[in-house]
Amino acid sequence: MKTVYVIGHTTPDTDSVCSAMAYAYFKNITDKRYTFTPVRAGKLNQETLFVLEKFGVPAPAEIESLAAMVSDLSMKKPVFICTRDSVQALALLMREQGVRSVPVVDDSGRMAGIVGLKDIARHYMDSVGFTDLDQTPIELDILLKTLDGRVVSNAKKKDRLSGRVFIAAMERGTLLNLARPGDVVIVGDRNDMQLELIRAGCSALIIVDGAPISKEVITAAGEKGTLVLSSPHEAFATVQLMTMSEPVSAIMSSKYPTVGLYTPMADVRKMIVESEYRSVIVVDSDNRLIGFITRTDFLKPVRKRAILVDHNELSQAVDGIEEVEILEIIDHHRVGDISTTAPIYVYNDPVGSTCTVVAGVMFLYHIHMPKEIAGVLLSGILSDTLLLTLSTTTDRDHQAAKRLAEIAGVEIETYGKELLHASINITGKSAAELIAADFKEFLISGKKLGISQMMSLDCEEIDAREEELLAELERLRAANGYDLTALLITNPLGEGRERILLKGETWIVEKAFNVKVEAGSCIVPRVLSRKKDLIPAIGQALSMSQGR
């Protein structure tokens, strides 16, 4: 069954991770067309790890990109040929399967090469004047199969033919002067000439036209160890079929492009364009054939499928999102810039948490909700609303939290304090880790902003690390071309004022909140929500300052 990934943004917080897990659970019950798998686009923070451990839920797998890979392609069982098979068998296989090139494997099933129609054509042209088998001896069993012939005498149990090849179409004297020991001679029904060639030490006779072979010739061949074969074809056709009896290894190319199951399809497309055979071969770690990809495999788009939760902006989405077939978006933020090629289901609700949205859907459908699912949904709501205190908190957040707490068997206030303690422990973390934990990128009125948010109950601890945090903000700004980088430091138990550390175009925040930034820091009126308080204020300030 095909997989649909349910995924949040690239700086996964508790709401993002928990809403992905719960919505995947809901979809697996209500939609049997796919398997819905929750994944995350980055490392888990301490708060989320606490939640997962608290309710005994395994962490979703981390995925770096949703770009289509070879494993997303519906590959058929590959057509292939073995190195020891004849060129004729190859030609018949390609005609039967309607293919232009074929992978070649050795006796162990490992890749040996690739061969195409042009190799057969080149071999046919090169075989004009075919006179010698020393370079590419012919396996006897392959030759018999190609000729539809039979063995008349093989006293020495030969299994292959080698040596000079010619047709006995000349006078007796000329023929005997030409024949040498080890030759392979194609001859008609001339009994006397057959005997002379055996006595001359020829290694093999191929008697054409299905002509009868005398006992005298068979006896002489047995005594001299001469291989005698009977071909039902005329001499010219027999020679042609002999050239088609050569092994595929004689005409294949040993240079061929290979990919693995996790090679991006974008890379595969480039390799096929550059390939002489317009194809690539899919192999495993032991170089065994898995699949064969040609240009026709790109006639239909190859894409992963995904449902986005807790975001709808390209800057916050996992790598490769442009290639993904997005089926749904479940969110509670402003409408961003992600677009789709077809109509999709979008549920964007201005509540305090995406987990509130998911919980509401599950309650609406009367889906059985296990204790652990209720627990992670509650955690997402409490985390994103800062224990139901942010200005983004709605009555529906309160109602959903109360109902989920009853199912999860926890008390909101007590559990909320546990969650808060897990989320604000900054001891032992670098400035880069603290800022990256809840860092989001925004593009507003042509300005590229990078804004992080963290909670702290200890002002002195922030004072001691202010210089370090400002240095990291400046590093991020310079490295990524941000016009402004900012860290909003929230004290949920504070007196209603918050600190912001900034680097770059600090005038944006000064204008948004009518404050003065000094030494990369300022104090603003209580701004608990980045989404509802900080970003809208910045957006309004920028819209009023176009052209600056």
**Mean pLDDT, residues 221-242:** 90
Into which CATH architecture does domain 81-123+250-298 fall?
A: Roll (3.10)
- Would you state the pLDDT for residue 127? 67
Q: What amino acid occupies position 401?
A: A
Please check whether the two domains, 81-123+250-298 and 431-543, share a CATH topology.
no
- Would you state the pLDDT for residue 319? 93
User: For the structural domain made of 431-543, what CATH number should be given?
Assistant: 3.10.310.20
CB of 227 closer than 8 Å to CB of 198: no
Q: Where are the domains of the chain?
A: 3-68+304-423, 81-123+250-298, 137-245, 431-543
Task: Establish how many alpha carbons lie within 13 A of residue 310's alpha carbon, considering only the half-sphere containing its beta carbon.
Answer: 34
Give, in degrees to the nearest 5, the angle at Cα 83 between 77 and 85: 85
Return all residues near 55 (Cβ < 8 A) that are at least 6 apart.
371, 372, 375, 376, 379, 408
- Would you state the pLDDT for residue 236? 85
Q: Which CATH number fits domain 3-68+304-423: 3.90.1640.10, 3.40.50.11540, 3.30.2320.50, 3.50.50.60?
A: 3.90.1640.10
Going by pLDDT thresholds of 50, 70 and 90, the confidence category of residue 129 is low
Q: What amino acid occupies position 241?
A: L
The pLDDT tens digits for 165-205 are 888 888 888 888 888 899 999 999 889 899 989 999 999 99
**Mean pLDDT, residues 440-455:** 93
- Would you state the pLDDT for residue 326? 95
Q: Which CATH number fits domain 137-245: 3.40.1390.20, 1.20.1070.10, 1.10.10.60, 3.30.70.1350?
A: 3.40.1390.20
- Assess whether pLDDT exceeds 60 at residue 547: no
Going by pLDDT thresholds of 50, 70 and 90, the confidence category of residue 128 is low
Q: Which of 81, 107, 166, 109 is nearest to 132 (CA)?
A: 166
